[in-house]
Each structure stands twice: as structure tokens, then as C-alpha cells.
Amino acid sequence: MKITYETIRHNLDAYHKARTEYVVLRQFEEGSVDYSALTGLGLAKFGAFYNFLKKHKERGFDPVSDPSIAIFAKLKEALIEKTSTARFKTFLKNRSKKKFDAMLADKDEFDRLLNGAWKSRPVMRRNGRMGSGTRKQERIEGLEQALLPLINYIILNEIEVTDRFSWQDRISSDLDWFISARLSFSGIRTKEIEMTSSLIKAFSDLVEKEKFDFRKLNLSYVMSGIEKKIKKAFTVAEGTMLKCVEEVKDGHGAILLNHGSVYQARGCYESRGSLLVSVMQDNGSSAYHEFSKFEDISTKRDDLLSMLLD
């Protein structure tokens, strides 16, 4: 198996573009928004990618390293620094480039050095399930802790690695960002992000204008009151007329919801932080769709803000 920079560079470019366009990602970086909020907005993978970048940045590494890491002596330094087992520090110092490169293509040796040698291998239990086995604690921690320099070394030297390389639990999720996990903008709830950000900004501006001193308030009382107001607003009354703002087709291309047409709400419910509303589709059947595909022109942002503060 050969690893290249193509996928990781795509992910870096996509993340940079997304954090520029969506303020919620920058808020997540600052810690003012939880990961669960990103999940509901279709940005979960972007949040996971940021966590990947942050983890390795704290270890001192970037996804695309300085080209000097292609020199085996430079890689050795990083691996030894991140390895705590004394005898494996010595093992790395004495390892030749030829033998180290060969280890990367040897699934059994790489597994042993990354995870530790087997004390007892997994065996089938009486209940038909495979046991987990046990391993020795001594291993080359640097193969995990200095994974990014290692991957850059592999890419720059065009080294063939074992296919089992990406199967290792300790490194598989991070390695995926170089191999198969690609950030995509499809499924991002752009309109929800824009409207929510707009409402939050309007609320913040009002608080600033009125000079509220939140230190004199009871936080639990405030949060409870706001939560109940939002939940009350987070519904669509049966019979509400909704204008479609995004055309929806079925798998065969037939139009289910026509852009600009008006539909009558038949019911609604909340799912993963988003509101779903039931309408009669153009094909005569009723179905639930994301409320973001409609517009209730009778309710504006300022109306929602007034509802929260009334």
C-alpha cells in the first residue's frame, strides 16, 4: 500500500474553507460550542478533523511536515523522543534505514513494535466469541505518538507499507485522514447555521446595548426560561402555510417539493437538534422534511428574538 499527500491536502483545504465560511467551526475551536452542535449541523467530520489536528499539534507535529523528515536520522529523533521504553530507544538508535523500511512492510513485526509482543494470543471462547488476548506493555510508543512524522517519511520516500498498516486500532482513525476520509460540504445545514448565527448575534447585540449585568442574575433561572421559550418556538402549528425554498426530488428525479410552492404543515417533531415538518408532497403522499427547506414568512428573526425576551 502506498500513501500520498492527495487526501490530507484535500482535507486541509476543505477545513480551511469551512472554518472561513462557518463561524460555528471557529466557535468550536475556541471551546464556546460543543461537538454535539456540529453533529446536528452536518459538521461532525469537520469537528473530528480539527480534533485530529489539535491532538497532533499538541505533540508538536503538523500533517504535512518539513521535507527534512525524509532523512531517516530526523525521523529517528522524533521516534526516540516520543518513546519511553528504554530498550526500544536503543533499538531505534541501532536500527538501519533498510531494516526500518522493511519493518513497515512486515505486518507482524510492525504490529509487535506498535502494540507490544503477544503474551497470549486471542483464542475462540466456548461461547463462540474470540477473546482479546494479552500483550506485553513494552512497545515503541513513538510509532503512535510521532505518527505524523512517520507518515511524512513514508510518503516522501515512497515506501510501500503493509496493508495492515491502516487496520491498527492505535493509528487507524488518524491514518484515515491520509487515505480514505475526505471532508465534504454535502449535508451541511448552511441555512440553519446562518439563521442561528444571526439570531445569536442579534441577542448578543441587544444584551450589549441594554448593558445587562449577568452577574446579578440567577443563571439556572435564566437558562431554564430561555430553554422553555426556545422549545415553545421550536414547533410548527398544524395548518401553517409554508413556502418551499429548496426543491426536493426522489431517487428517480421526480419532484416531491417544488421551489416556490406553498404547502400546509400537517405535524412536526424534533430530531437531532433539527425540526422536521410533515407536508403533502406533489406526488400525493405525506412525508417529513427538514424545516430548513421551507419558509414561514409570518415568523422573522426579530419575532423570534422578541419571543425569547418577552
How does pLDDT run across 171-194, given as a tens digit for each residue?
Answer: 999 999 999 999 999 888 787 777
> Cβ distance 27 to 33 under 8 Å?
yes
- What number of other Cβ atoms are within 10 A of residue 106's Cβ? 15
| Segments making up each domain of the chain, as ranges | 6-179, 190-309
Helix residue ranges per DSSP H, the chain: 6-21, 23-30, 35-40, 44-58, 72-81, 86-94, 97-104, 107-115, 142-145, 147-156, 172-179, 190-210, 219-233, 301-309
Could you report the average pLDDT of every consecutive run of 10 residues in the chain (310 residues)? 94 97 93 88 95 96 94 96 95 95 92 88 78 86 96 95 80 94 89 74 72 74 75 83 91 92 91 86 93 76 52
pLDDT value at position 301? 46
Distance CA 126, CA 147 (A): 38
> Cβ distance 294 to 191 under 8 Å?
no
Phi, psi of 39 (to 5 degrees): -60, -45
Which amino acid is located at 42 in the chain? G
| Rounded percentage of the chain residues whose pLDDT exceeds 90 | 55
Return the DSSP state at 160.
-
Q: Helix, strand or coil for residue 262?
A: strand
Cβ neighbors of 259 (< 8 A, separation 6 or more) are: 244, 245, 246, 247
pLDDT value at position 308? 52
pLDDT value at position 47? 97
How does pLDDT run across 73-124, given as a tens digit for each residue?
Answer: 999 999 999 999 999 999 999 999 999 999 999 999 999 999 998 888 878 7
pLDDT value at position 121? 80
pLDDT value at position 134? 86
Fold classified for 190-309:
SH3 type barrels. (2.30.30)
End-to-end CA distance of the chain: 62
Distance CA 169, CA 115 (A): 9
Phi, psi of 136 (to 5 degrees): -70, 150
Return the DSSP state at 33.
S
pLDDT value at position 306? 56
Which amino acid is located at 257 in the chain? L
